[in-house]
């Protein structure tokens, strides 16, 4: 038997003892070692759903995770430490064949819909989604490769170039990782906003000019800081329409806005006239694609620091405290260690 944490309804998490999962064809048994709590997990906790998706049965949350392969004694990969891609695309549809597995309409995703996630001691997962991690990466580092992959995909969509001015609106873990990537790619100037002082301080440590989010008034501060020119690319990573409006107001004519955050009410709104007159390009980022090898390389070489973003760790038995800390937005990233 193994411990499994299931969401039964709004703020109703219960720890169960369940049989070990039986791996199907192409699957391997994984002993879960680290799971990051994401903002989307908090949506599920507070609303028993996210976007148009609703809770249909008790669900295991968790899609940022790492583990150790624990399949049969003679399996060639037994004992291998791995980061786990939570997405399982079909691999056969037109979108998959075109290189866009993140848009697969038959995609299964850990902790979403009917696909149980990682907040448990063991799970069975496709071998093709298990990426070996070097000894220099900790288990928590391995879990952080998922949010890093989201940040990499968002930056890919933004087509950053050296010398650009880049704004990140929302300095949670994904936003802070976007700042690191933008800096590594040669951004001349980084601008960041958030409502939480400790997140703004984290952005400042990454050499960003940080502005307190304050009802949209920060748009004027960004305009003044850029001499009225505006920013070249803006990443909205807060999931708040106020941040979207600030991004639209802060972008230069011809600039690009990448929407990464997930709004609580499943609606995104902005001043159409401002966006239209500026001729902005607006892109919506859907998870990630083909990012795990790149993410592992970036962390292994020290080009990106994920370790400093992990501020809290809890065993699975203290799940209530872990989620309380995450819901209060204390620290940056909460890791659960089954």
Q: Give the pLDDT confidence score for residue 257 in this predicted structure.
A: 98
**74 pLDDT more than 90:** no
Per residue in 52-71, pLDDT (tens digit) is 889 999 999 999 999 999 98
Q: How far is CA 250 from CA 168, 191, 221, 225, 280, in A?
A: 11, 10, 9, 10, 11
Q: Give the pLDDT confidence score for residue 24 in this predicted structure.
A: 93
Per residue in 190-201, pLDDT (tens digit) is 999 999 999 999
Per residue in 324-336, pLDDT (tens digit) is 999 999 999 999 9
Q: Give the pLDDT confidence score for residue 103 in this predicted structure.
A: 96
Arithmetic mean of pLDDT over the chain? 96
Residues of the chain with CATH 3.40.50.720: 149-284
**11 pLDDT more than 90:** yes
CATH 3.30.420.40 fits 2-132+306-337, yes or no: no
- State the fold for domain 149-284: Rossmann fold (3.40.50)
Per residue in 206-261, pLDDT (tens digit) is 999 999 999 999 999 999 999 999 999 999 999 999 999 999 999 999 999 999 99
Exposure string for 49-81, b = 16+ CB within 10 A, e = fewer: bbeeeebeebbbbbbbbbbbbbbeeeeeeeebb
Q: Give the pLDDT confidence score for residue 73 in this predicted structure.
A: 73
- Angle between the N-to-C axes of helices 292-300 and 139-158, in degrees from 0 to 180, rounded to the nearest 10: 110
Residue 72: pLDDT band with limits 50, 70, 90: confident
Q: How far is CA 282 from CA 54, 193, 253, in A?
A: 28, 19, 12
Residues of the chain with CATH 3.90.180.10: 2-132+306-337
CA distance 113 to 268: 22
The distance in angstroms from the start CA to the end CA of the chain is 14
What is the rounded average pLDDT of the residues 129-135?
A: 97
The pTM of the full predicted model, rounded to 2 decimals, is 0.96
**40 pLDDT more than 80:** yes
């Amino acid at each position: 038997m193994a411990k499994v944490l299931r969401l039964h309804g709004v703020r109703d998490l219960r720890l169960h003892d369940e049989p070990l999962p039986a791996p199907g064809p192409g699957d391997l048994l994984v002993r879960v070692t680290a799971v990051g709590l994401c903002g989307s997990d908090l949506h599920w906790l507070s609303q028993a759903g996210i976007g148009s998706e609703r809770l249909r049965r008790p669900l295991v949350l968790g899609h940022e995770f790492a583990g150790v392969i624990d399949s049969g004694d003679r399996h060639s990969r037994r004992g291998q430490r791995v980061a786990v891609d939570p997405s399982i695309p079909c691999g056969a549809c037109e979108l998959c064949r075109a290189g866009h597995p993140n848009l697969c309409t038959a995609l299964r995703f850990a902790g979403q819909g009917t696909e149980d996630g990682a907040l448990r001691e063991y799970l069975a997962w496709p071998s093709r989604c298990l990426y070996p991690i070097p000894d220099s990466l900790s288990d928590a580092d391995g879990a952080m490769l998922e949010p890093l992959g989201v940040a990499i995909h968002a930056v890919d969509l933004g087509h950053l170039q050296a010398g650009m001015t880049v704004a990140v609106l929302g300095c949670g873990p994904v936003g802070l990782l976007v700042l690191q990537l933008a800096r590594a790619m040669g951004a001349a100037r980084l601008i960041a906003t958030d409502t939480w002082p400790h997140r703004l301080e984290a952005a400042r440590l990454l050499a960003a000019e940080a502005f307190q989010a304050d009802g949209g008034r920060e748009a004027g501060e960004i305009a003044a800081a850029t001499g009225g020119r505006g920013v070249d690319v803006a990443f909205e990573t807060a999931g708040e329409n106020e941040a979207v409006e600030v991004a639209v107001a802060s972008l230069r004519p011809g600039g690009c806005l990448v929407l990464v955050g997930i709004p609580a009410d499943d609606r995104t709104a902005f001043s159409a006239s401002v966006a239209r007159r500026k001729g902005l390009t607006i892109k919506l980022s859907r998870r990630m694609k083909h990012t795990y090898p790149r993410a592992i390389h970036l962390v292994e070489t020290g080009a990106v620091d994920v370790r400093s973003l992990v501020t809290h760790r809890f065993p699975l038995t203290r799940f209530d405290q872990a989620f309380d800390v995450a819901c209060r937005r204390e620290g940056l990233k909460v890791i659960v260690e089954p």
